[in-house]
Amino acid sequence: MNLAYHNLKNGMRFVHYRTDGMVAHCGLIIKTGSRDEEDHEHGMAHFIEHMLFKGTKKRKPYHILSRLDDVGGELNAYTTKEETAIHASVLKENYERAVDLICDIAFNSVLPEKEIKKEKEVITEEINSYLDNPAELIFDEFEEMVFPNQPLGHNILGTTDNIKRFTRDDLQYFISGNYNTDEMVFCSVGNISDKKAIYVFEKYFSSIGSKPVVRHNTKNTIYKQTIVTKQKNTYQNHCIIGNTAYSIKHKKQTGMFLLNNILGGPGLNSRLNLSLREKNGLAYNVESGYSAYSDTGLFLIYFGTENNNFQKSTDIIMEELKKMRNKSLGIIQLSKAKSQIKGAIARAYENHENLMLSIGKSLLVLNRIDTLGESCRKIDNLNSSDLLEIANEIFSLPELSFLTYK
C-alpha cells in the first residue's frame, strides 16, 4: 500500500492512496465529537455538523447541496463520540471541486440565524424518531448507564431542551475552542496522482490559519456493574448486556476485535446467531459489538425477543459467554475465525469510501496506518490463550451490566 503523506505548516495532515477506477473519495476528519461537550453543550457537535451545510461566505445552502449533486457526486458528514467527518465521492475529474467544497464548508460557514432556527426543528424530529424506536434508544441509554455523568456516555444527538437553547454565539464559541488544525486530517482515495492530490490539498488548505490544539479535561472512566429494567410496554423485550473494554491503542484491541466477531459479529455463523436464532428460533436480531475509544472501550450484546422467551434467551447467551471464558478455541476453530475476519478486512479495503475514512481516522488517532498485510499479521499472531484471557476479563459475569426494556 503506497500512501502519499503531506503536512502543512498549520498542522493539518494529508494522506492519499492512488487506486484505479473512475470514482474518487475524499474527506476531512476532525478530532472533535460529542465527547468534547460540556453538559450545557450536549448535542453541539452534531448540531454544528448539520449547520456546516447551511451557507458559507460564498455559497448559499442550495449551492452547497447541488455543487456535487450536479455532477453525480455525493456530499455527506457524520459525528461520533470523538470525531466529525465531512466527505465526498465524485468522478475523478471532479476531485478538486469536492476538495474546494469541503474546505469551504469546514472553514467558511456563516451559521445563518434563520437556518439555526430551522435546523433545531429538524434535529428535534431526529431525536423524537429515536425515542420512538426502542431497538435504537436502548443503545444510547446503555452507554449513559455505563459511562454516567460524563460526556462519553451522552448520546450524540443531544436533548431537545439543549437544542432549543443553542445560539449562534454558542456554536461559534464551541468551534473556536474545539476545531483545531493540528487535529485534522484530510484523506483521499482515487485515481489521482500523488502530485496532483498534494497540490490540490495545498491549494485549498495551506492558507488556513494555524490553530494550536486545546486539550480538554476528560473525567476518568469509573465503571460499576449496573442492572436496570424499564417498563416500555413494547411487543418485544429488548436487552443489552455489556462491559467496558479496551481502548483503540491497547495491545489487546485486535484480540478483542476477533473475539467479538466470533461471538456475535455480522457473520451468520457467529455463536450467538447460531445458538439463539438458528437452533432455537428465539430472536430475529442478536448481535455483539465492540467500540474502541481513545482511553476506553465498550463491549455489548443486543437481542430482542418475546417476553415468554426472554429468560431462555438470556440463559443461552450466558452459557455462550461461559464457554468462551472456560474453553480455549481449537486449532481448526481459531484458524477459521482468523480467516473469516481477515476476509472481512480485505473486503473493507476494496470499499474505497470506507478505506478513505479508515486511513484518515487511523492517521488522526494512531498517527500510523496499518497495511492489509500488517493487520492480517496481527491477527495471525493471536493464539487461543490470548482470546481466553480477554474473554475472562471482558465477559466476567460480575462485571456485566444489563439494561432491559419490557
Catalytic residue status for 83: no
What is the signed CA dihedral for 36, 245, 369, 262, rounded to 10 degrees? -140
CB 51 within 8 A of CB 109: yes
Q: Which residues contact 89 (CB under 8 A, 6 or more apart)?
A: 23, 24, 25, 73, 74, 98, 353
Distance, CA of 86 to CA of 177 (rounded, Å): 19
The pairing of strands 84-91 and 13-18 is unpaired
Cα 263 versus chain centre, distance: 20
Q: Sheet of 184-190: strands edge to edge? A: 3-7, 13-18, 184-190, 23-30, 84-91, 74-79
E strand spans, 175-214 = 184-190
The three-state secondary structure class of 332 is helix
Catalytic entry in 37, 41, 49, 83: 49
Residue keyed to cell 488522526: 364
User: Which residues form the catalytic set?
Assistant: 49
